[in-house]
Chain A
Amino acid sequence: MTSANEFILSDLPDGFRGIVARVTGGRDLAARLAAMGLTAGTQIVVLQNRGFGPMLACVRDTRIALGRSQAGLVTVYECPTAAN
């Protein structure tokens, strides 16, 4: 699904809640992230993104550290019911 509300994970600020749209950049990265809980359709929360260095995100109760370039391969769309 493509929409105007899609963002690159590495551009998102602390506290942003969204849904993972897809992981690009090859099967290996997608498989590794999937085994750690990061798959398309999962809710994701940005825990820490300082605009440089690695970032922290939370999926399925798991805090994952992602290098800046890996975070650049994850697309996220805005969660319409992101009340809490």
Chain B
Amino acid sequence: MPRPLVIGLAGQPNVGKSTVFSILTGLTAEVGNWPGRTIERREGSARIGGREFHVVDLPGTYSLTSNSEEERIAREFILRERPDVIIMLADAAALERNLYLLAELLLLPIPVVLGVNMVDVARREGVEFDAHVLEAALGLPVVPMVASRNEGVAELLQAAAAVADGQRDYAPDRPEIAAAHREVYEEVCTLVAGAVPEGVPDSWVALKLLEGDREVTERAAEWLAPEPRARVQALLREHEDAVLDVAGARYEWIGRMVRAAVRRPKLGQVSFTDRFDRIATHPGWGLALLLGVFALVFWVTFSVAGPVQGWLEEGVVARVATGLGALLGGAPAWVQGLVIDGLLAGAGIVVTFVPILFVFYLALGFLEDTGYQSRMAYVMDRFMHGIGLHGKSFLPLFLGFGCNVPAVMGSRVIESRPARLLTIMLAPFVPCSARLLVLAFLVPLFFPAFPTLVAWSLVVANLLVLVLIGVLLDRFVFRRERLAFVMEMPLYHLPNPRTILVYAATNVWTFIKRAATIIVVVSMVIWVLVSYPGAGVDDSYLAMFGRSLEPVGSLLGLDWRLIVATLSSFVAKENSIAALGIIFGSEGESLGQTLAMVITPAAALSFLVVNMLFVPCVATVAAIRAETRSWGWTLASAGLMLASALLFGLLVYRLALLFGLGGAGA
């Protein structure tokens, strides 16, 4: 059996690459990181007609210059790991701009097969294209596709295999440099020849030098001997304008390639995207829509996932606990306690989070897949300027609703360091899914009469705190700085259920993996800290520590139990529930009844506010350290969160007391 063909899946953003990847690899997909980077690397295997393929999903990039981490990863993969074939996906509705990436890929020594996706959307936009004509012009296989309906995906893979096997002609037409710079290009080619490492084409290095590519310029200085280096540098200084010429020549080549292949029978019609954008990008209506979408996401999460969660809790976790109790009947009391009250209490609550997390990620995946997410960035841009950021920071911060770790790491799409630091400092203020789950779990217990209203108000208040902190940091710590906001607004299209399901499942699985390791261990540790040295919780180690902090906590209405639950959230935010479950669960009634009896509404509000703003979880702290490369900023972030938690907890508690929420029962 022949070895699997290695395929690199390339494409600009918003071309449906995730959909194609999930169709190809299905359940074999694995998520890791690119070596030495924090950007996700997704790969998996596919099998068509008895042939095995290994597919690596490259980051979506508009070009292959070294402007961004993603672009460097994509070209390093091609040059170092040498896939057998590259499959490039293009958007049929914006073919010219998409082929810019093809013009770059064709300079690298790996054959390329082109999949032109979303031909149905393009047709609705009034763009018709002829794959055979384009194929003849480009000299490489072109496959028309509608990936969301699984049309053309198998054909694309077969074309890739045929090119790799040499069964299909591959003689691509490559763009050439404009006449004005041909001479200097050839001279640079000659100068770098021989000095460039094995496997990197001289012609590509020469072109990247003329384009002013930072990484290649730095590397070439190391590769070249002093004399040719000086000559190359002199040539590049003389021809600084070459970058525009290189881009211009690529589009001229693209123009020639698509001239006969693309037709626009209908001109001047108003597309759905333009009509919907009149609302979605409107400064007023767009904002109203965005808030409405957020409200809807929360409403769906509470009303759909809530009942499922209750069923899991009563129907599954409680039964497992009974079963385990019978099974461990003869075991020592401490083993029963550790397994049932420690391990299962922690793991069980984690399991009941799954429906909420899943519904939440389905909603986020839907927003991303339809193309609406970038409108959010556009609408939010002017508000982000108020806190020294632009619309692009909205996306990483928005990711923070899933998890603060990708929010901190996603901040690297922002070019300037002050703006990136500011985004990193603000990211932990975004209520992550774990904290939202804490809300989703506790708010209905504390405030059964109007859970959605209370949860929604808490989230809005949390975001107001974020804005306030942002304004203060921008004003007093970071100098106001102008930032480049440039972003594509993709055409709206029907979401693909499979892509969204895979997105949600991957994220939920990541959460479960994390839960299985850290959270259960912490839950068990807490059980030990709660059960020893004395007989009751009141005599435990944790109680001792909690009591020592009670003088501060009582100002915010937090007794030692609530303090302990808050402290345990440092390892993982959702641990505060596990801790509450263990501490209050030992009284024999359901957690909801116990909490409602013991904690006043004012203290409950204060506890929720403190938990939403408390020191970021250990994973986020680690991410902040990794991204800022500074313990100073890391500690500053933790200190800032702690101070805000205490300040706003105090404020909310005192206000709630004024409004008479200090009595028992909600």
Q: A48-B281, A61-B94 are in contact. Are A31 and B485 (CB under 8 A)?
A: no
**Nearest-Cβ distance from residue A68 to partner chain B, whole angstroms:** 8
Residue ranges of A at the interface with B (Cβ–Cβ < 8 Å): 27-37, 39-42, 47-48, 50, 52-54, 56, 59-67, 69-70, 84
Residue ranges of B at the interface with A (Cβ–Cβ < 8 Å): 62-63, 65, 67, 93-97, 100-101, 125, 127, 211-212, 240, 243-244, 247-248, 251, 267-268, 273-274, 277, 281, 283, 374, 377-378, 381-382, 390-391, 415, 482-491
With a cutoff of 8 Å between Cβ atoms, the chain A residues found around residue B247 in the complex are 30-31, 34-35, 39
Chain A CB within 10 Å, residue with most, of B63, B374, B486: B486
A39 and B251 contacting across the interface, CB-CB below 8 Å: yes
A41 and B97 contacting across the interface, CB-CB below 8 Å: no
Q: Which residue of A lies closest to B378 (CB)?
A: A65
**Nearest-Cβ distance from residue B477 to partner chain A, whole angstroms:** 22
Q: A48-B281, A61-B93 are in contact. Are A66 and B486 (CB under 8 A)?
A: yes
Per DSSP, chain A at the interface is mixed
**Nearest-Cβ distance from residue B73 to partner chain A, whole angstroms:** 16
B485 and A61 contacting across the interface, CB-CB below 8 Å: no
Give me 14 A-to-B residue pairs in the complex whose CB atoms sit less than 8 angstroms apart, sorted by A's number. Answer: A27-B212, A27-B243, A32-B62, A34-B247, A35-B62, A39-B244, A39-B251, A40-B244, A40-B248, A56-B281, A56-B489, A61-B127, A65-B485, A67-B484
B390 and A67 contacting across the interface, CB-CB below 8 Å: yes
Chain B CB within 10 Å, residue with most, of A32, A47, A52, A84: A32
A61 and B489 contacting across the interface, CB-CB below 8 Å: no
Q: Which residue of B lies closest to A41 (CB)?
A: B248
With a cutoff of 8 Å between Cβ atoms, the chain B residues found around residue A40 in the complex are 244, 248
In whole angstroms, what is the CA distance A32 to B661 when docked? 55
In whole angstroms, what is the CA distance A66 to B47 when docked? 43
Partner of B377, one of A27, A62, A65: A65
With a cutoff of 8 Å between Cβ atoms, the chain A residues found around residue B487 in the complex are 64-65
In whole angstroms, what is the CA distance A67 to B486 when docked? 6
Q: What 3 pairs between A and B have smallest CB-CB spacing? A: A67-B485, A53-B382, A37-B97
Per DSSP, chain B at the interface is mixed
With a cutoff of 8 Å between Cβ atoms, the chain A residues found around residue B248 in the complex are 39-41
Q: A30-B243, A39-B248 are in contact. Are A54 and B381 (CB under 8 A)?
A: yes
Extra contacts besides A34-B100, A39-B244, A39-B251 (7): CB < 8 Å: A32-B484, A36-B486, A39-B248, A47-B277, A53-B381, A63-B273, A63-B489
In whole angstroms, what is the CA distance A28 to B214 when docked? 10
In whole angstroms, what is the CA distance A37 to B99 when docked? 10
Q: A31-B211, A31-B243, A39-B251 are in contact. Are A67 and B65 (CB under 8 A)?
A: no
In whole angstroms, what is the CA distance A8 to B273 when docked? 26
**Nearest-Cβ distance from residue B598 to partner chain A, whole angstroms:** 49
Partner of B485, one of A50, A52, A66: A66
In whole angstroms, what is the CA distance A66 to B390 when docked? 11
With a cutoff of 8 Å between Cβ atoms, the chain A residues found around residue B488 in the complex are 36, 62-65
In whole angstroms, what is the CA distance A59 to B486 when docked? 13
A-B contact count (CB 8 A): 119
Chain A CB within 10 Å, residue with most, of B65, B97, B382, B482: B97
Q: Which residue of B lies closest to A52 (CB)?
A: B382
A65 and B489 contacting across the interface, CB-CB below 8 Å: yes
In whole angstroms, what is the CA distance A57 to B643 when docked? 43
Q: A56-B281, A67-B484, A67-B485 are in contact. Are A37 and B94 (CB under 8 A)?
A: yes
With a cutoff of 8 Å between Cβ atoms, the chain A residues found around residue B486 in the complex are 29, 32-33, 36, 64-67, 70
B65 and A31 contacting across the interface, CB-CB below 8 Å: yes
B273 and A54 contacting across the interface, CB-CB below 8 Å: no
In whole angstroms, what is the CA distance A17 to B364 when docked? 36
With a cutoff of 8 Å between Cβ atoms, the chain B residues found around residue A28 in the complex are 67, 415, 484
With a cutoff of 8 Å between Cβ atoms, the chain A residues found around residue B377 in the complex are 65
In whole angstroms, what is the CA distance A62 to B100 when docked? 13
B374 and A65 contacting across the interface, CB-CB below 8 Å: yes
A37 and B281 contacting across the interface, CB-CB below 8 Å: no
A50 and B484 contacting across the interface, CB-CB below 8 Å: no
B63 and A31 contacting across the interface, CB-CB below 8 Å: yes
**Nearest-Cβ distance from residue A10 to partner chain B, whole angstroms:** 12
In whole angstroms, what is the CA distance A21 to B484 when docked? 20
**Nearest-Cβ distance from residue A13 to partner chain B, whole angstroms:** 15
Q: Which residue of B lies closest to A73 (CB)?
A: B484
With a cutoff of 8 Å between Cβ atoms, the chain A residues found around residue B97 in the complex are 36-37, 59-62
B382 and A54 contacting across the interface, CB-CB below 8 Å: yes
With a cutoff of 8 Å between Cβ atoms, the chain A residues found around residue B62 in the complex are 32, 35-36
Chain B CB within 10 Å, residue with most, of A37, A40, A50: A37
With a cutoff of 8 Å between Cβ atoms, the chain B residues found around residue A35 in the complex are 62-63, 65, 100-101, 247
Q: Which residue of A lies closest to B62 (CB)?
A: A35
With a cutoff of 8 Å between Cβ atoms, the chain A residues found around residue B381 in the complex are 53-54, 65, 67
**Nearest-Cβ distance from residue A79 to partner chain B, whole angstroms:** 15
**Nearest-Cβ distance from residue B64 to partner chain A, whole angstroms:** 9
Partner of A30, one of B244, B374, B483: B244
Q: A32-B486, A47-B274, A53-B283 are in contact. Are A62 and B94 (CB under 8 A)?
A: yes
A84 and B67 contacting across the interface, CB-CB below 8 Å: no
A37 and B374 contacting across the interface, CB-CB below 8 Å: no
In whole angstroms, what is the CA distance A67 to B414 when docked? 14
Chain A CB within 10 Å, residue with most, of B62, B125, B390, B484: B484
In whole angstroms, what is the CA distance A30 to B65 when docked? 12
With a cutoff of 8 Å between Cβ atoms, the chain B residues found around residue A31 in the complex are 63, 65, 67, 211-212, 243, 247
With a cutoff of 8 Å between Cβ atoms, the chain B residues found around residue A30 in the complex are 243-244, 247
In whole angstroms, what is the CA distance A63 to B240 when docked? 29
**Nearest-Cβ distance from residue A61 to partner chain B, whole angstroms:** 4
Partner of B391, one of A36, A54, A64, A84: A54
With a cutoff of 8 Å between Cβ atoms, the chain B residues found around residue A36 in the complex are 62, 97, 486, 488
In whole angstroms, what is the CA distance A76 to B173 when docked? 32
**Nearest-Cβ distance from residue A8 to partner chain B, whole angstroms:** 16
In whole angstroms, what is the CA distance A48 to B244 when docked? 27
**Nearest-Cβ distance from residue B67 to partner chain A, whole angstroms:** 6
